[in-house]
Amino acid sequence: MSTFVPAADNRSSIIRARRFQTRPSDHRFFSIMSIVTSVTIVAGFWNTYLRKILSGAPALPPIIHVHAAIFTSWLVFYVMQTTLVLNGKTALHRRLGIAGVVLAALMLVAGTATSITVTRLRDRGIPGVEFPDPAGFLLLNLNAVFVFAILVGAGWYFRHNAQTHKRLMLMATMSGLVGRPTS
């Protein structure tokens, strides 16, 4: 599937369509954004997850560690996929795409299970941006999981349209910047 941009013909009122041209800078942009997004997400979870593990805080439920491992795998996978495209290895990028679908499905399951577990623990969010009750925090987290799944699903659907696919996958990964369950 190709993206077309209309171009006006000065000699007539007929509009011709021309193919959208991808520039090398497009690949650099999405590769850099994958790294920036991943670093931002990891930095955001420093206080709510990593610091608790390193300080020996009370044990967290196992599902939180599973969710963290799957989400970290997604970030590594996403950076790897954008790097493959940047280096012109699109055939390998496409072959590995099924792993992204599997990771996204695992994130949907683990994210939902983590959201429910955290709600049962009466968590209301991170200090400073807490919800009045755990149900609000549950809604935020389930919404974030749902948005991620929809964007990845749309990215898979539009996998033959590079311009749409790469934007959807970036938005899906950036949806990780929305609060997630990490108590």
Residue 128 neighbours by CB distance under 10 Å: 5
Tell me, yes or no, whether 8 lies in a domain.
Answer: no
- With tokens 């949806």, the residue in question is 175
Residue 51 neighbours by CB distance under 10 Å: 11
- Give the number of domains in the chain: 1
Tell me, yes or no, whether 109 lies in a domain.
Answer: yes
pTM of the model: 0.78
Structural contact between residues 182 and 64, judged by C-beta atoms closer than 8 angstroms: yes
Cα gap 21→103, rounded to integer Å: 30
**Per-residue pLDDT at 177:** 67
**Per-residue pLDDT at 79:** 96
Tell me, yes or no, whether 18 lies in a domain.
Answer: no
Tell me, yes or no, whether 62 lies in a domain.
Answer: yes
Tell me, yes or no, whether 124 lies in a domain.
Answer: yes
Tell me, yes or no, whether 89 lies in a domain.
Answer: yes
**Per-residue pLDDT at 13:** 47
Tell me, yes or no, whether 50 lies in a domain.
Answer: yes
Tell me, yes or no, whether 17 lies in a domain.
Answer: no
What pLDDT, in 10s, does the model give residues 70-129?
999 999 999 999 999 999 999 999 999 999 999 999 999 999 998 888 888 777 666 555
**Per-residue pLDDT at 129:** 59
Cα gap 104→174, rounded to integer Å: 14
Cα gap 42→50, rounded to integer Å: 9
Residues 133, 136, 142, 145, CA torsion sign: negative
Q: Which domain holds residue 144?
A: 24-177
88 sits in the region (left: phi over 0; alpha: psi -120 to 50; else beta) called: left
